[in-house]
Structure 1
Amino acid sequence: MNDSMIEKLVELRGIESNFIDAWGKPAQVEPASKAKLLKAMGYPVEDEQALHQKLDEDAAKAWLNPLDPVQVNRIGEPLLIALRLPIELVNDSYDIELTTEEGEVITQGIEPSSGELINVAHIQDGEFQEYILALSAEPPIGYHQVSLKAGDGEELSTMRLIIAPKACYKPDNIAKGEKMWGLSVQLYCLRSERNWGIGDFSDLSYLIRESAKQGAQFVGLNPIHALYPSNPDACSPYSPSSRRWLNTIYLDVTAIEGFESKDIQALVTSESFKQRLAEARAKDHVDYATVSSLKLEALRLVFEHYNQQYLKHNSKQNRAFKAFVKEGGESLEMLATYEALQEMLKAEGKDFWGWPVFPAEYAEYHLDAVKKFKKSHADNIKFYLFLQWQAAQQLALADKQADDNGMSIGIYRDLAVGVSEGSAEIWGNRELYATDASVGAPPDILGPLGQNWGLPPMDPLVLYRQRYQPIIDLFSSNMQSCGALRIDHVMALLRLWWVYKGDNAKQGGYVYYPVDDLLGILALESHRHQALVIGEDLGTVPEEIREKLADNGVHSYRVFFFEQAKDGGFFSPAHYPEQSMATLTTHDMPTLTGFWHCLDLELGKSLNLYPSDEVLAELYRTRHENKQQLLDTLHGHGSIPQWIGRYVDEVGMSRELNHGMQVHMAKGSSALLSLQLEDWLEMDKPVNIPGTSSEYPNWRRKLNRSLEETFSDPVIQDLSKRLTEARKQASAQ
């Protein structure tokens, strides 16, 4: 294979050859890794003739379409478009017709050769020329269409034109300098006196109402994306089936109309049901299989009642349901079909964990066998559509609680970086995903061995050819019923670490994405939904992307334990960027108690997460130094009582030290402060340990106290009061 040809293609497809690692050292991507990433993109790199043929086909596909598939401009920028035509047609006259989202039509006559010639190519024995032309129209922000029309009115090509704001939405009080705090929780972790062994949307409403009384202005959630009803133990919120739709295990069955009907009450009051429910509630870890079984059993009866009562008649409920399904379009229909199909296959007694192991006739959504399945299983598909409808309604009610209780932001949602290999999202749009690769991370502080997350990445070229519709849908759907959106691993807008299937995470490479276009779409959707945006910018992050995110109004994510100077000292939160969300810990980190007592390092050793004893010893040594620096910082700012010792060897974790850290953060300059409910409850076990799957019960650990107990505790009320007062003082500075 011609190496120069491979390197040219590597550059063309945005595969990075060199990067700076998490320790600030130059690193290189191996040539073999780059070739594998091209292979994952569909290039036959081991067959030179086939590769030439594919490159010729790709070039023809681009040049034979006069207009680009999509173009993103910022409001106020000159509107320039590229136009490609055979040389014999460039002197003809055409019309450019711009149809705005509101339906206004603006027409401009053009002559391509009067523009700036920027490129020439020979395609299929003919010469093509590409020109840049200026349009005089000044469309508003939104999604518009540009059409190229011949003199006789024939439409020759179309392009989506996206006009975006200059930056993401920011609430007025944030823009004026108000500082606020809120809680971050894993929704499934919540205990309450009424839930069914897992936190649900009614628990969320309660949490919002009670935390608002304490002065909180938002409640941050783990991703609440759709998972797998027929495979409930696939429970990671960061490995979803669809990021557009909701995890229906969070439904409060008792809140759906019809729950009080005779048949349903007969089920839920039966001794066997009550016993299983009591066991699920009592466990310290979420028993997903039992909870899912209980809920689905009851939900089917609720659906049957509701369907007979309303959905088979011309009722307002049926009209609302049909409107929801119509708005959800193919994406919603596809998810419901996938869930019904997976249920049927599971009933056959086989381990059909996802579409890669489905029978061939069901391997893709658009196959004939799937169409037949939809007709023969329409009622069950309707059931899954109904669950999504109810979930959207219950989430909207929780969001309304935030408004009713005066929260400035309210619900703050989390968008995962991708979907799992066996997801419905890939099943419905196989072309978009590079299924022979996975997203991950090179070695860094959190994952010394590198990480492979098992999430096939979107191919940036295919995303572009699909006119960015998948990413528009993602941003829009995840900004529903909330006041803020956290973009997990926001570097994905710039680049993703791809790992070829079967390779070690260290053998991957970065693939670049059209960051300016994606940020423009994010800004547009942010304004449409009036949702503030936070970007989780941890790990290996080029400084230029931090500047770009800041310019685009994306709030940075500042974790106290990572904000250290070269001498090891911790930066004061008073020096954090105002346009940021500050936090002490995250779901991928130990709790404050776990950090202080090095429980995470003990766990990591027991799970063989460290390459050697020397690496672990260095982590212990660094932790000891960090704890001393932390004590120095807290004492230096008067954030903890004087009676707490000044030498780390003499100081154990205490309530005063725990609360002192949190209040210390509240004095900072970040607009937003997020605190983990686990740290309020002084818990020691983490939610998730990066680099593990079945070795640790990730995404299962519940809180150690119920919501009712938590918010009636005078200690918690006092901490809330201190946090609110500290944030007010920070706002006044």
Structure 2
Amino acid sequence: MTAPSADLAALAQSYGVATEFWDWQGVHTIVSAETIQRVLTALGVTVETDADVLQARDEVWLRTWRRTLPPTVVMRAGWTPWIPVHVPHGSSVRVEIALEDGGIIPVRQVDNWVAPRSVDGVETGEATFELPGDLPLGWHILHAFVEGRDEPACATVIVTPHRLELPAGLSHRRMVGLMTQVYQLRSANSYGVGDLADLADLATWGAADLGCDWVLVNPLHAAQVQAPMEASPYLPTTRRFVNPLYIRVEDIPEVGYLPSATRAAIAELSRSGQALNTGATIDRDASWTVKRAALQLVFDAGLSDRRRRAFDGFCEREGQGLVDFATWCALSDVHGDAWNEWPETLRSPGTAEVAAFREENAPAINFFRWLQWVLEDQLAATQRLAKEAGMALGVVHDLAVGVHPSGADAWGLGDALARGIDVGAPPDQFNQVGQNWSQPPWRPDRLAELGYAPYRDMLRTVLRDSGGIRVDHIIGLFRLWWIPQGLTPSEGTYVAYDHEALIGILCLEAHRAGAVVVGEDLGVVQPFAREFMKERGILGTSILWFEWKDGKPLPPEGYRELCLASVTTHDLPPTAGYLELAHVALRKELGLLTRPLEVEEAEERAAIEKVAAALAEQDLPHDPANVEEFVAALHTYLSRSPAKLLGVSVPDLVGDRRAVNQPGTDTEYPNWRVPLTGPDGELVTLEDLTALHLPARLTRSLI
């Protein structure tokens, strides 16, 4: 691969595409011309020839001058940004803001001379207007009424808080919580997969018996409706809607009114589902087959007038996005879940053929809408029960980085997602060949043109009935690693995003929900990103094994206050397994090491010994061979930090050894399908968990 020409590099930089970077070992790397060309093509820029590159470079300025208004203006409360308004030279223009609450505010023009330009043969001038600094937080519309035009030009104006203040209570004390994979919480009543009732049981037990204030869960985003269901919660079909696999059938109100024969049929299905609880791995397909049959029976029984009105209100509020998602689900039942393999006329939600399908399959589409309504109801109940039991925050949800390339969002969001590109991560210490997450990224330009509505709608669903949100790979709101399909992860490059807009909108929606925001800021991070997060009131993430300074483990007093600190994370084995170097052995087995096994093992043992020495300096138990005491000491170590949130992993509560996920792999390891097990490898049910002594000991070491 060749280096880019100076013209190609200049064009790339104007679109926020990096042409160079420094890798995890500090090596300066030049991005290849092929990578840059393919990334620019995905952004809608023609760069097939040198002449194309020159023309595109010379016309970069036309992107703004061709528009009367910028597509979206994101500002902080109190700011008074100047807005360029492009009109035929000499034409008059009047600008006003339509507020979210229905009010109208005129916008003042300021004296700012800008020379006119010829734009596509039209002499075009630029007038400047200043937005008022007293605009309320929220989503507003800017209108520009140009002389001689019948309709005004429009732009979205989003006013965000300067800083997201911490929820009540967290500002003056720390809060301890549990971190869990919901599907692992299998109880006697589960259908082989932990569900929202199991989550409610964990949360209420955690509050009442352990003194926890929150429980962080894996992303609950929806997966496919046909087998095979994607196991990874971080590769969903959509991030806006929820996986109905997590429904507890028996908790749906309509179940109590079913005829005896229907209840008997559901009971039989329930027994089939419960038989899956003893499986050595999580079998989502088998679980969903049984649960979907039971849900269909409940749906077919219908709703009372009162419940029908509530369902209709939900559908109206969720609008076209819910219709499109439910349509994709119904189409998947007929044509399979890969929309890019469907008949050509069905590959976009706006075609006449899709409209005809909706009309012909209205009951099926209504079923999938009903599932989301049931989920909303059960999620609200889970949060209510958690808080009633004593949790200050309750459930903290997780937002995945992206979506499945052939899923509902990729079908429904159109060119808001870049085509021919996968999101991933460059090589780092723990993934030395890099990672490809097989997800199409947002196109930053299209997000702005859409007024960030898809991003907002997604956030609102995740934040609804929750005490917080963890944003996986929050650095992706600053820049993302784009990998042209067919190239390796190391051959990608960074693409910049408008972090002021994306972080600001996140703060706005979290403010409205009264939620805390935790950003997973591990890995290669731009130096200013963590400072920006701190400025906006967003907590970072600190994992004990990753926190080092001057070749030694970071002392407790060195941790950030605004962070969620924990010993481990779902991308590492539970702590007992980590001490046995299970992560090194697994990466060796899967061919993910770029250094000899002996080197990796020696380095990890040395790191564990240094952590043990740090524990000794704190007068804490420090013998890694005494696993239970050592794990408790690690948590006590974190308790001496100023971190606002302290988390303990549920697998650590039971002495589990196996990692739930090995980054950089797919089917090579049973990622996201590993059930909860104890030190002996035996299955641990939710009932077993709540009867153990170790959970109370570990959480006491944090409080």
What band does the TM-score fall into relative to the shorter chain?
A: over 0.9
Q: Residues 154-303 of structure 1: matches in 2 within 5 Å?
A: 154-176=150-172, 178-213=173-208, 214-260=210-256, 261=258, 262-270=260-268, 273=269, 276-303=272-299
Cα distance, 1:126 vs structure 2: 2.4
Matched, 1:703 2:703: no
Identify the residue that residue 618 of structure 1 maps to in structure 2.
Answer: 599
Structure-2 change in CA distance of 1:660 and 1:43 (3 Å): same
Aligned mate of 1:63, from 65, 76, 80: 65
Matched, 1:96 2:92: no
Matched, 1:17 2:7: no
Q: Residues 463-542 of structure 1: matches in 2 within 5 Å?
A: 463-542=447-526
Q: Deviations over 1:33-66 (max 9, x none)?
A: 1112112223232145666787899865642321
Residue type of the alignment partner of 1:591: P
Cα distance, 1:653 vs structure 2: 4.6
Identify the residue that residue 627 of structure 1 maps to in structure 2.
Answer: 608
Aligned equivalents of 1:137 and 1:564: distance in 2? Answer: 43
Aligned mate of 2:558, from 575, 600, 615: 575
Identify the residue that residue 128 of structure 1 maps to in structure 2.
Answer: 124
Contact between 2:197 and 2:382, CA under 8 Å: does it hold in 1? Answer: yes
Identity in percent? 29
Contact between 2:255 and 2:263, CA under 8 Å: does it hold in 1? Answer: yes
Identify the residue that residue 139 of structure 2 maps to in structure 1.
Answer: 143
Identify the residue that residue 572 of structure 2 maps to in structure 1.
Answer: 589
Aligned equivalents of 2:370 and 2:187: distance in 1? Answer: 26
Name which of structure 1's ranges 78-87 and 117-126 shifts more when overlaid on structure 2: 117-126
Cα distance, 1:269 vs structure 2: 4.1
Q: Deviations over 1:258-303 (max 9, x none)?
A: 3353243332444xx4664343111131111110100011110010
Matched, 1:85 2:87: yes
Q: Residues 593-612 of structure 1: matches in 2 within 5 Å?
A: 593-611=576-594
Name which of structure 1's ranges 378-387 and 94-103 shifts more when overlaid on structure 2: 94-103
Aligned mate of 1:32, from 25, 31, 34: 34
Aligned equivalents of 1:627 and 1:125: distance in 2? Answer: 68
Q: Residues 638-657 of structure 1: matches in 2 within 5 Å?
A: 638-640=619-621, 645=623, 651-657=624-630
RMSD: 2.1
Aligned mate of 2:663, from 687, 690, 696: 690
Q: Deviations over 1:605-653 (max 9, x none)?
A: 1111123xx443221111011111011111111222xxx64xxxxx425
SS of equivalent to 1:245: coil
Identify the residue that residue 348 of structure 2 maps to in structure 1.
Answer: 364
Q: Residues 378-417 of structure 1: matches in 2 within 5 Å?
A: 378-417=362-401
Residue type of the alignment partner of 1:554: I
Matched, 1:106 2:79: no
Cα distance, 1:340 vs structure 2: 0.8
Structure-2 change in CA distance of 1:108 and 1:62 (3 Å): closer
Structure-2 change in CA distance of 1:620 and 1:13 (3 Å): same
Aligned equivalents of 1:73 and 1:682: distance in 2? Answer: 48
Cα distance, 1:712 vs structure 2: 2.3
Gap regions ≥5 residues in structure 1: 346-351, 646-650, 725-733
Aligned equivalents of 2:176 and 2:168: distance in 1? Answer: 16
Name which of structure 1's ranges 326-335 and 136-145 shifts more when overlaid on structure 2: 136-145
TM superposition score normalised by structure 1: 0.91
Cα distance, 1:134 vs structure 2: 2.2
Identify the residue that residue 306 of structure 2 maps to in structure 1.
Answer: 316
SS of equivalent to 1:414: strand
Cα distance, 1:28 vs structure 2: 2.5
Structure-2 change in CA distance of 1:711 and 1:318 (3 Å): same
Structure-2 change in CA distance of 1:257 and 1:210 (3 Å): same
Residue type of the alignment partner of 1:7: A
Identify the residue that residue 680 of structure 2 maps to in structure 1.
Answer: none
Cα distance, 1:399 vs structure 2: 0.5
Structure-2 change in CA distance of 1:670 and 1:109 (3 Å): closer
Aligned equivalents of 2:119 and 2:427: distance in 1? Answer: 44
Residue type of the alignment partner of 1:466: L
Structure-2 change in CA distance of 1:276 and 1:316 (3 Å): closer
SS of equivalent to 2:532: helix
Residue type of the alignment partner of 1:145: I
Structure-2 change in CA distance of 1:53 and 1:248 (3 Å): farther
Aligned equivalents of 1:680 and 1:235: distance in 2? Answer: 23
Identify the residue that residue 74 of structure 1 maps to in structure 2.
Answer: 76
Aligned equivalents of 2:127 and 2:31: distance in 1? Answer: 36
Identify the residue that residue 9 of structure 2 maps to in structure 1.
Answer: 7
SS of equivalent to 1:296: helix
Structure-2 change in CA distance of 1:515 and 1:109 (3 Å): closer
Matched, 1:564 2:562: no
Structure-2 change in CA distance of 1:266 and 1:2 (3 Å): closer
Structure-2 change in CA distance of 1:382 and 1:219 (3 Å): same
Residue type of the alignment partner of 2:687: E
Q: Deviations over 1:210-245 (max 9, x none)?
A: 000111110000000111121343121111111011
Aligned equivalents of 1:130 and 1:588: distance in 2? Answer: 51
Name which of structure 1's ranges 140-149 and 201-210 shifts more when overlaid on structure 2: 140-149
Structure-2 change in CA distance of 1:64 and 1:36 (3 Å): closer
Cα distance, 1:518 vs structure 2: 1.3
Gap regions ≥5 residues in structure 2: 678-683
Identify the residue that residue 731 of structure 1 maps to in structure 2.
Answer: none
Aligned equivalents of 1:151 and 1:403: distance in 2? Answer: 56
Contact between 2:94 and 2:144, CA under 8 Å: does it hold in 1? Answer: yes
Residue type of the alignment partner of 2:634: M
Aligned equivalents of 1:510 and 1:361: distance in 2? Answer: 34
Cα distance, 1:379 vs structure 2: 0.2
Contact between 1:116 and 1:133, CA under 8 Å: does it hold in 2? Answer: no
For CA contacts below 8 A with separation 6 or more, give which structure has more relative contact order: 1
Contact between 2:646 and 2:702, CA under 8 Å: does it hold in 1? Answer: no
Cα distance, 1:131 vs structure 2: 3.8
Q: Deviations over 1:10-49 (max 9, x none)?
A: 0111001222322344332222211121122232321456
Aligned equivalents of 1:708 and 1:275: distance in 2? Answer: 18
Name which of structure 1's ranges 216-225 and 120-129 shifts more when overlaid on structure 2: 120-129
Aligned equivalents of 1:324 and 1:385: distance in 2? Answer: 9
Residue type of the alignment partner of 1:318: R
Matched, 1:334 2:324: yes
Q: Deviations over 1:586-622 (max 9, x none)?
A: 11111111111111211111111123xx443221111
Contact between 1:579 and 1:671, CA under 8 Å: does it hold in 2? Answer: yes
Aligned equivalents of 1:325 and 1:72: distance in 2? Answer: 29
Identify the residue that residue 729 of structure 1 maps to in structure 2.
Answer: none
Q: Deviations over 1:495-530 (max 9, x none)?
A: 000000110000000000001111111111111111
SS of equivalent to 1:143: strand
Contact between 2:4 and 2:32, CA under 8 Å: does it hold in 1? Answer: no
Aligned equivalents of 1:615 and 1:130: distance in 2? Answer: 62
Name which of structure 1's ranges 284-293 and 31-40 shifts more when overlaid on structure 2: 31-40
Matched, 1:661 2:634: yes
Structure-2 change in CA distance of 1:2 and 1:165 (3 Å): closer
Aligned equivalents of 2:59 and 2:333: distance in 1? Answer: 40
Identify the residue that residue 644 of structure 2 maps to in structure 1.
Answer: 671
Aligned residues: 692
SS of equivalent to 2:432: coil
Aligned equivalents of 1:231 and 1:590: distance in 2? Answer: 28
Identify the residue that residue 648 of structure 1 maps to in structure 2.
Answer: none
SS of equivalent to 2:255: coil
Name which of structure 1's ranges 533-542 and 257-266 shifts more when overlaid on structure 2: 257-266
Residue type of the alignment partner of 1:265: R
Identify the residue that residue 681 of structure 2 maps to in structure 1.
Answer: none
Name which of structure 1's ranges 127-136 and 601-610 shifts more when overlaid on structure 2: 127-136
Identify the residue that residue 536 of structure 2 maps to in structure 1.
Answer: 552
Residue type of the alignment partner of 1:518: L
